Amino acid sequence: MATLLHIDSSLNGEGSHSRKVTAAFRKAWEDQHPEGKVIYRDLAANPVPHLDALTYYASFVDPAERTPEQSAAFALREELLAESEAADAIVIGAPLYNYSVTSGLKAWLDHIITIGRNVLTEQPTLAGKPVVVVSSRGGSYAPGTPEHGNDYAQPYLELVLRDKLGLDVEFIIPELTLAPAYDSMKDLVPLFEESRTKAFAEAEAKAKALATRLAA
């Protein structure tokens, strides 16, 4: 029985484009693999705290030797790490906010990235695990557009997820999501609709492929 870890970080609730695509991914996964398990975290509705010094340095102390304060501080981090390690696949909703990832997702990643456990170790616990990132954005940052080069979300996530944690990362990019909301972008609505349709199709296809592979 395969386990999917589903992470959302958009503050826009049901109006969120990244949430709609991660939901489509999850539904396709569950349809294909109904006996599987899903672990869900909504980092906007239930944010994890920013990583503090007590929690961070507790990771370098043997669990048997931690003080009660260190053990209490590390408990949530251990829970988040255990969830990521228990998952056979991960889907992350990562909308582009102010040219980067949401603060909630960054806080989650700060807890997940742990020296000696999944980075800077000979046996990283997350290496090879498939992860699909839905990185939605209100405009377009593609080559030839005015904002090209100003996307600091995808390069950052590629660095930490793929290069440092060793995950097998794929991206789905729904773009121009603000086009229906602004008259100045109305000419771009057809491109937004095309991007949205493509994102849903990619989410369903990737989820089905992963569920089938992991269930085999």
What's the token pair of residue 88?
Answer: 């056979």
DSSP assigned state of 46: S
Q: Where are the beta strands (DSSP E) in the chain?
A: 3-8, 37-42, 89-93, 130-134, 168-172
pLDDT in tens, 121-152: 999 999 999 999 999 999 999 999 999 999 99
Q: What is the pTM of this model?
A: 0.97
Averaged confidence pLDDT in the chain? 97
Please give the Cα distance from 55 to 58 (Å, whole number).
5
Q: Kindly tell me if the per-residue pLDDT of 54 is higher than 80.
A: yes
Cα–Cα distances (Å) from 163 to 24, 128, 174, in that order, read 27, 11, 23
